[in-house]
Every structure is written in C-alpha cells, then in structure tokens.
Amino acid sequence: MPRNASQVESRLTDRGTNALGAGYSRMMLRRRMEATGKSLLEVDVRVHEMVDPHAESRPIRALDAFSKLGDQPELRLVSSALIVAGTLADSDRLVRAGARMILAHEAATFAKSAIKHRIDRTRPRSADSQSQKKPRKGAHRAKEKTSFPSGHSSGAVAAASAFSREYPEYRGAALAAAALISAAQVPRRAHYVTDVIAGLAVGLLAEAVVDLAWRASRMTERSRSG
C-alpha cells in the first residue's frame, strides 16, 4: 500500500499514462486496419475493371466451363466416383482418397457457408455501387449478395489437399487444378480477388482439421486392417 500522497499520485499518473497508451495503440491499429481494408478493396475493384471487358470472350467462357468442377455437386460426384472405383478395384487407397475428399469438402462448405451468412458482399457482376463491393456485416442468403468468401475456391482446394494425402505424387497437379478453378472466379466476375484468397484459406484450414481428426481416429490403419 502507498505510504504517502506522492506515492498515490505517482501510481495514478502511471495508470493514466498506461490507459492513454493503450487507447492510442488501439486507435492506431484501427486506422491501420481501415487503411489495409481500403487498399484491398482498391485492388479488388481495379482487377475487376481489368477483366470485366473480357468476360464474354471465348477463353473466359472456356475457363468458366472448367471452373464448374468446383461446384458442390461436381466435387461430391467426383469424390463418390473415386469411392465406387476403389471399391470395385479393391483399392483401399482410392476409397480413402474419395472419403477424405468428401469429408474435407463438406467441412469447407460448412465453414464458408457460416461466413457467407454473416457477411454481405455483392458479386462483381451485380455490384452497382462502392458500398456493395465492400464486405460488411449482414445476413443475406441470396446468391448475388454472398460473394465472400469463394465457395468454389474453398471446396476445390479442400478436395485437392485431401486427395493429395493419399496420392502425394499427384499433389502438384491436384493443387494446380484447384488453383485454376479458384483463379477462374475473378475473370468470370463471380468473385473478387480477396474472396478467392479467403476461400482458399477456409478450404486449407477445413482440410487440415479433417486430417487431424482422420489421424486421431486412425482411419488409415483401420482401412488397411479391414
């Protein structure tokens, strides 16, 4: 306990100084985050303006067709086909690859949907104002209002990473395909660059969580012993 008035005054001064310092730090952090957000939005808008005139070109239409492989039905179909093919060929490895892909894809889909339902952002092809292009808190369910994050990117990279767990020799090709599907979302005006980056992060994280659960459950050993 302080013994005199000077000690009390000194302690109060120190507390006040610390409070002011903490407040200043929070203010500066908030300003930096706002500046970063503005810079990222500028990148999104500029890239969209660059690709928009070419959206209907033949190369972009071809890229759009390829990107459909990142849709949920297509990824589920491919994963299921691997399981069926593995069962018929008596290949535990192929069955595991398909199972991993489905689990990772569903985890990524759940995660990206949870984010989409809390953040509103109008897709590039439908945004008319600067405010619509900016991510903001919301609860829209309409497809054109839920651009962030990219579901194609999260699902594709999650499935590719999961497949690579069983077939590491094809990891490069699988991830390259996922990257192409993800990148295609920008020129086809379905997503902004930051939507794609966020989707990739969600997909990689979801697949990593599934892999941890897979290992903890010793699923590979079980399939081999079975």
Residue 50 located in a structural domain: no
Query: Is residue 30 located within the same domain as residue 82?
Result: no
Residue 145 located in a structural domain: yes
- Give me the CATH number covering residue 65: 1.20.144.10
Query: Is residue 75 located within the same domain as residue 158?
Result: yes
Residue 49 located in a structural domain: no
* Total domains in the fold of the chain: 2
pTM strictly above 0.85 = no
Q: What is the pLDDT of residue 7?
A: 60
Query: Is residue 22 located within the same domain as residue 111?
Result: no
- Residue 12 is part of which domain span? 5-40
Query: Is residue 99 located within the same domain as residue 63?
Result: yes
**Lowest-pLDDT range, 48-52, 108-112, 196-200?**
48-52
Residue-wise pLDDT tens digits, 21-34? 666 677 777 778 77
Contact between residue 189 and residue 55 where contact means Cβ atoms under 8 Å apart: yes
Give the helix ranges, DSSP H, for the chain.
Answer: 5-51, 58-67, 72-88, 92-116, 130-133, 151-166, 171-183, 193-216, 219-225
Residue 210 located in a structural domain: yes
Residue 45 located in a structural domain: no
pLDDT band at 1 (very low <50, low <70, confident <90, very high): very low
